[in-house]
């Protein structure tokens, strides 16, 4: 196990691309798969040795993985995940912390930390992960990668370890947009995403209000050129996402996620009494206290957030641009208290996609404190491929 490169299991010698697969759209691409996805004949640890000890070896492979393998991708490894995917830090108490190769003094971000590290160091081209509360978007931002959280429900979640099924999605990270797009063409085949045909026409700037004011990279050399680099899209509005709204969204999401996570894992936790990192243990302890009445209130609050988002982005042609994270990844030597405080800010930004089931595409186009940072395109449900096409236009004009 090469933790620094994000590897939990080396599988390359076990999987060979067949002649028919070699003609597929992903032939020549190397694949790393987060250790939440079942691979037939190989154990799934979900980032926790007690899970590994108490679960049998899978007999079936996740269909999302099979789609990529059948398209010619070469499976190289299973990659490390935060315990049961319930963290955004990328720090695994049991197995170690993958290296953030773009900023080695900073955390890699989780829970798809291993997939991010494996892509960043060049071990694989495609890092398959999951995104429940930001677990693809956050490591993409911290490691300078492209990353997509798809429209919820568009990619099957069979033969996987769940966290909160109403928010769980399959996502992926890549070093370039062309590879991300190639995966999208394979994994979205025969879904509503493939049939979505609205073209982005109107851009809305979502400007979050955090503790130190409005989070918008005005000092970035990229800022003055954004609008001119987005062809056929008109800037129509700016929306300040108030601190009150972001806190409300974060609290709503955390309650719904926590309630769902306890429904999935509570019985196993109470029976097995697994050892978790202290922050994850505290999180599950809190999950066990969430009442059905609190969950029902959060469900009502979610509906109000969805209505507000529909008012800001009223048609399929509306696309929002927003910072993916509050900035560069926290330092590895950050205190537990500082990481917890940062998480509260972060969740306000990442909760929006989950609560509204919309796709979000991270673009690594900014730098903060000498480390990676970026912006996201946030669109209508099923507009995943249109977001990728819009981002391609943006980057082609930028680099052209």
Q: What positions carry a catalytic annotation? A: 34, 111, 135
Compute CA 288 distance to the chain's CA centroid, rounded to the nearest angstrom: 25
Q: How many CA atoms lie within 13 A of 395 on its CB side?
A: 17
Residue with token string 């070699």: 22
- Helix 243-272 vs helix 278-287: crossing angle, to nearest 10: 90
Distance CA 371, CA 104 (A): 9
Beta strands in the chain (DSSP E): 7-10, 30-34, 74-79, 126-131, 146-149, 169-174, 202-210, 213-214, 234-241, 318-323, 360-368, 371-378
Bridge pairing between strands 360-368 and 318-323 = unpaired
183: nearest Cα among 134, 115, 117? 115
Tokens found for residue 100: 């953030």
Count other Cβ atoms within 10 Å, centred on residue 49: 14
Q: What angle do CA 9, 181, 84 make, to 5 degrees?
A: 35
Count other Cβ atoms within 10 Å, centred on residue 60: 12
Distance CA 320, CA 337 (A): 32
Quote helix, strand, coil % in the chain, to nearest 5: 40, 20, 40
376: nearest Cα among 197, 254, 205? 205
């Amino acid at each position: 196990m090469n933790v620094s490169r994000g590897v939990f299991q080396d599988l390359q010698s076990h999987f060979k691309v067949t002649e028919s697969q070699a003609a597929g759209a992903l032939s020549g691409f190397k694949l790393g798969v987060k250790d939440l996805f079942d691979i037939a004949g190989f154990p799934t640890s979900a980032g926790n040795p007690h899970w590994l000890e108490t679960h049998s070896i899978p007999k079936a492979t996740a269909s999302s993985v099979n789609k990529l393998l059948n398209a010619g991708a070469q499976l190289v490894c299973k990659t490390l995940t935060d315990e049961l995917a319930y963290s955004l830090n990328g720090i695994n108490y049991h197995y170690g912390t993958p290296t953030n190769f773009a900023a080695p003094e900073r955390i890699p971000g989780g829970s798809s930390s291993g997939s991010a590290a494996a892509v960043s160091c060049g071990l694989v081209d495609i890092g398959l992960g999951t995104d429940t509360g930001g677990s693809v978007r956050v490591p993409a931002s911290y490691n300078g990668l492209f990353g997509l959280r798809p429209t919820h429900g568009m990619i099957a979640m069979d033969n996987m370890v769940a966290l909160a099924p109403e928010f769980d999605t399959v996502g992926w990270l890549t070093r370039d947009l062309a590879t991300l797009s190639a995966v999208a063409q394979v994994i979205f085949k025969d879904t509503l995403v493939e049939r979505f045909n609205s073209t982005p026409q109107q851009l809305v700037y979502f400007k979050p209000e955090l503790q130190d004011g409005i989070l918008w990279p005005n000092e970035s050399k990229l800022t003055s050129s954004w609008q001119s680099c987005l062809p056929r899209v008109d800037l129509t509005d700016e929306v300040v996402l108030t601190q009150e709204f972001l806190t409300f969204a974060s609290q709503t999401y955390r309650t719904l996620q926590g309630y769902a996570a306890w429904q999935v894992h509570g019985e196993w936790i109470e029976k097995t009494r697994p050892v978790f990192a202290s922050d994850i243990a505290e999180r599950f302890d809190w999950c066990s206290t969430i009442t059905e009445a609190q969950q029902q209130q959060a469900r009502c609050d979610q509906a109000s957030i969805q209505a507000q988002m529909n008012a800001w982005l009223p048609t399929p042609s509306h696309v929002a641009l927003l910072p993916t994270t509050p900035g560069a990844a926290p330092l590895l030597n950050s205190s537990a208290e500082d990481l917890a405080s940062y998480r509260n800010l972060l969740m306000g930004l990442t909760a929006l996609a989950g609560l509204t089931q919309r796709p979000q595409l991270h673009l690594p186009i900014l730098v903060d404190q000498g480390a990676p940072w970026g912006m996201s395109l946030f669109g209508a449900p099923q507009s995943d491929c249109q977001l990728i096409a819009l981002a391609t236009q943006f980057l082609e004009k930028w680099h052209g």
